[in-house]
Structure 1
Amino acid sequence: MKKTNGKTKKALLIIICAVLVATLLLGFCSCGTRVLETKAYDTAETAEDGEPRYVSELSRVSMGENYGYAAKALDDSAYESTEDGGKSAARNSDSMPKSDYKQTADAALRKLIRDASMDIETQKYDEFYSALGKAITENGGYVQSSNEHGSNYNYSQSRSMDLKVRIPADNLDAFINSVSSIATVTAKSVSVRDVTGDYIDTEGRIKALETEYDALLAILAKADTVADLITVQNRLTEVNAELESCKSRLKNYDDLIAYSTVTMQVYEVERVTAPEPETFGGEVLGKLKDNLIDIADAARAFAVWFISSLPDIILLALFGTAAFFIGRRVIRKRKAKKQKTFDKYVNSGKTEENDK
């Protein structure tokens, strides 16, 4: 019995060892296969010129369908954007750390759109408008749009104006300071939008489309059949339309980057908004002052209304007085008539009694 148990244990150990060995062999084979597949994929995918070996000439022509040229365009833009610093950085790229080189290139290529908005109050509307025009001219800007609101015969209100001004981006801060010095700015905001990625992608897209366009022209010159001519012409039309769209997009970006847009709302007020006090006492005094000013404004408004309405008040008083006297006279006549009738009736009754 013991011999049988010993043989059984040995058999189990042999089976377990065989399974482990088989598992290890399969694992090594799998790893080797993956390594070979990876090497084969890398070898098949990349050639000496950096392009896939299996890419045909026709697919190279249509590289505008992807961004294969984007990386090259980015590098070209990095060197072209800085004539001196960019080339020296390229020559010294071995000695410069990669992270520092990338930061330098990013700083040179960064495309920022800066815009601002301002809410302005002024007690001297006409003087402010003149000073604002001078500030715009001094900073090299221009008025893009202007919309002014004022009072009319039936409705009186303070004047206001909505403005959109284009100012060179380098002079934006100076312009904001100039406006703040000639009026009270109650609200101000400055926004910065980084369009570097989209700008560089658009540049790369333009270069890819131009390359495709030139290649299509070369193919068009060698086309033999009408079908080939039509196909190439159609593709040329599509590429040209997309190329113009990308160039227009880039031109719009250049304009927005070079000139900041300042949106202003200008309000004519009788008194400007005071800054918020920091202490409790200052807040109480400020509110008390506002209430006294409101009372004075109300009294002034009533006095203005009363004086300006005197002709109407006098006319109404005359009509009212005349109506009062006329009405009283009519009432007195009616009373006298009734009294006379009553007296007559009473007297006639007494006469009849005396006759009896």
Structure 2
Amino acid sequence: MILDKILEKPMNEYPVMDTREGIVLFYPNIPAKAASNITEVLHSRWIGQGPKVDEFERRFELKFTYPNKCLAVGSGTDALHLAYLLADLQPDDEVIAPVFTCTATNIPFLYMGVNIVFADVDDNLNIDVKHVEQLITPKTKAIVCVHYGGLPCDMDELWALGKKHNLFIIEDAAHAVGAKYKGRYIGSESDFTMFSFQAIKHITTGDGGMLVVKDPTLVEKAKRLRWFGIDRTSKQKGIWENDIVEVGYKYQMTDIAASLGLAGLEEFDEHLAHRQRLYRLYCELLKDIPGIRVIGSEYTDREHAAWLLTAEVDHREDLMRHLREHGIESGQVHYRNDKYSIFGGRTPGQFPKMDAIEERYLVLPLHARVTEDDIRYIAYVLQKGW
């Protein structure tokens, strides 16, 4: 029986859910050394951008992105904006981007006057590469993909399109720290990659991000754009005659934030293994329950970073109500961007796959505080039907 597979012990031996909070959808992952690392910085000379930022960039690069270079910034959105600037996107250029993502992926294009051409999703809410190919025109300058929930996109096909049409491939890997595609870490291949260290990501710096750059000749420019257009190396040598020739931004990370990131990086492997273990348990326990399909569970050529557990479900509103009655939080988290007026609004029928799944996707709890017993309890509640 399904119930026998789900429960490893009698139901009355499981912890009673506190319905005042229950199993929440998100919870920050604060590493053990967070407080001591931050205290060390607070007693040092540097609390803004200083040596801890350099160290965080270096360690992140060695673990995930080598030979591509890392620049730590104030948010993932900052990193994306810098990537779009470094790709030399100009007003009226076209960029193909997913219709389903956090708005942060696409809002920087509005700063720049770049025309966003939305692409439909595939069955797992990643960008549909076949639709991308149909959308390419002589005005297209870049393709942005989002590894939704931590599931890598079809990168071979995207890289092939980039090479064929001379397009930048920009990866929004906000969900995908630690994800792998065909054995290589996400962030080590494409022209530009962004990682997010927002409050509830695998690694948090309170808020923050990492820009990853493939072309080494762009790194110094990226550093200038991150800091008002100023060459900090020359400035720190006391050469006050330096000119500013580029419009820059205040996009740097601080040493306070970087010290928190370093603590998270130290524990990262353990944390990722925990989330991936929970993801696999969800897949195993939910696979035979009618009316629910775990998104992204069928691939063998890529490693899911397990930031989100998203399922395609029947009767979503009924299911959410059923879960809530049992102390389990759920939600949609991200939404199709063409619903928002800032992006021009929605044209009915333009994205049939997004239309088909729009009322059917649901995010279930998956984070550092979730236990295997929690997953079994959730599966038990789902097995009862809704």
TM-score by length of 2: 0.17
TM-score by length of 1: 0.19
Higher relative contact order (CA 8 A, sep 6+): 2
Q: Which has the larger radius of gyration?
A: 1
